[in-house]
């Protein structure tokens, strides 16, 4: 087959051997022929379908101008020879996808044969696998630390109980205050231990039909006295809400963590709304659409999250606060996963955050 020859005087692909055009058209992979300066001489139908452009809008343009500034330049070391480079490409419609670009010289001439493959699913699968491994490693470490911490905690609780029996009748205010605060601290430490063990997936929750409206009402009464000044908590029940297959203790832990995050996002005060809702049977967004689902929506009027933060909000210890504050929503994600539930997030900067906890409905 003859080497393609371009005649720029009569258009980008004038003078190109028709056999090369036929070969590109027969390829199922998005393929294009580029000139010496990286401009596209010809692109096949698969390339046009992937990028969303018409042929007239493609020929004579370079990849950087066509698919975005993140495209590696055709002459750089990133794609030298027959090497492959990956970049985030933008289609004509504005949507993005991860593309794998391969450029190889054609014969000894100035032309390069390029192929672009959509590798978005592979990149997402690799990311999910990395995140799963991180969570598994963190779960093993958390489990070990939680058990050691629990051993020390039992010693402290034993001594505190002994002090309460020996000093409980003494009228000194300091003694009474010290015993009360020590007891409160031990109780909070016990709650933290349960959270850590639940996140490490070493405690299998006992799921059963639960009245979410009753659970949410009880949790709200416990949370209200400890809210920061200026933060209000509203509860909106759903009449005749079907029971949820869940674990009340882990629902309490999840809501406590989400409300704490919401308070962090509202340092000047704001509103938190906790509402229950139902998802009708047959909803295709459910794993088991025939059974239906019930859920809890937690909305706040806080600072919200950027798209980048929202994308990694469920990663272990991801946080929008300063280093060392909070463990992100990974704990809540672990709690929901252990109950066969799901968590969904929606947030925009300056518009607050909405968290939806969805549980299977009891049959």
Whether the per-residue pLDDT at 128 is higher than 90: the answer is no
Give per-residue pLDDT as tens, 244-264. Answer: 988 888 888 889 889 988 998
**Least confident range of 2-11, 217-226, 250-259:** 2-11
Percent of the chain whose pLDDT exceeds 90? 13
pLDDT at residue 76 tops 90:
no
- Torsion from C-alpha of 258, 264, 269, 274, nearest 10 degrees: 0
Q: What is the mean pLDDT of the chain?
A: 77
Angle at the Cα of 101 from the Cα atoms of 114 and 118, rounded to 5 degrees:
115
pLDDT band of residue 8 (cuts 50, 70, 90) is very low
List, for residues 333-347, the tens digit of each pLDDT value: 877 887 888 888 898
- pLDDT tens digits for 159-203? 787 877 777 666 777 777 777 788 877 877 777 776 666 656 555
How many helices and strands in the chain, by DSSP H and E? Answer: 10, 12
User: Does the pLDDT at position 216 exceed 90?
Assistant: yes
Q: How far apart are CA 223 and CA 191, in angstroms?
A: 14
pLDDT at residue 254, rounded to an integer = 87
Task: State the Cα–Cα distance between residues 24 and 45, nearest whole angstrom.
Answer: 9
The lowest-confidence range among 22-31, 157-166, 320-329 is 320-329
Calculate what percentage of the chain has a pLDDT beyond 70. 74
Report, as an integer, the average pLDDT of 226-234: 91
Give start and end residues of each alpha helix (H) in the chain: 18-26, 45-51, 55-58, 63-67, 120-167, 173-199, 212-223, 248-264, 307-311, 330-338
What is the arithmetic mean of pLDDT over 289-300?
Answer: 82
* Start-to-end C-alpha separation, the chain: 68
The band of 307, judged by pLDDT with boundaries at 50, 70 and 90, is confident
Q: Give the model's confidence band at 277: pLDDT under 50 very low, under 70 low, under 90 confident, else very high.
A: very high
């Amino acid at each position: 087959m003859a080497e393609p020859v371009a005649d720029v005087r009569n258009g980008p692909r004038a003078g190109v051997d028709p056999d090369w055009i036929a070969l590109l058209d027969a390829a199922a992979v998005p393929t294009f022929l580029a000139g010496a300066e990286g401009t596209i001489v010809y692109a096949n139908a698969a390339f046009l379908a992937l990028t969303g452009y018409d042929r007239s809008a493609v020929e004579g343009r370079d990849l950087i101008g066509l698919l975005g500034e993140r495209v590696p330049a055709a002459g750089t070391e990133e794609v030298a020879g027959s090497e492959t480079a990956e970049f985030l490409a933008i289609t004509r419609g504005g949507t993005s996808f991860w593309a794998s670009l391969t450029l190889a010289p054609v014969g000894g001439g100035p032309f390069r044969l390029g192929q672009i493959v959509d590798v978005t699913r592979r990149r997402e699968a690799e990311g999910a696998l990395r995140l799963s491994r991180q969570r598994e490693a963190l779960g093993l470490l958390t489990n070990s630390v939680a058990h050691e911490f629990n051993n020390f905690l039992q010693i402290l609780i034993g001594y505190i109980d002994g002090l309460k029996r020996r000093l409980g009748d003494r009228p000194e205010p300091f003694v009474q205050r010290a015993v009360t605060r020590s007891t409160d601290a031990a109780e909070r430490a016990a709650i933290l231990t349960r959270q850590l063990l639940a996140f490490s997936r070493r405690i299998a929750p006992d799921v059963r039909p639960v009245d979410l409206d009753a659970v949410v009402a009880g949790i709200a009464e416990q949370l209200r006295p400890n809210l920061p000044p200026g933060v209000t908590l509203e509860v909106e029940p759903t009449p005749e809400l079907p029971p949820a297959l869940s674990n009340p203790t882990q629902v309490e832990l999840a809501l406590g963590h989400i409300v704490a995050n919401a308070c962090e996002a509202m340092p000047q005060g704001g509103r938190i709304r906790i509402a229950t809702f139902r998802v009708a049977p047959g909803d295709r967004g459910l794993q088991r659409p025939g059974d239906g689902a019930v859920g809890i929506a937690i909305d706040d009027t806080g600072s919200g999250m950027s798209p980048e933060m929202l994308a990694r909000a469920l990663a272990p210890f991801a946080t929008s606060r300063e280093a060392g504050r909070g463990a992100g929503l990974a704990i809540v994600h672990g709690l929901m996963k252990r109950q066969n539930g799901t968590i969904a997030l929606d947030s925009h900067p300056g518009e607050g955050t909405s968290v939806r906890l969805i549980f299977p409905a009891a049959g």
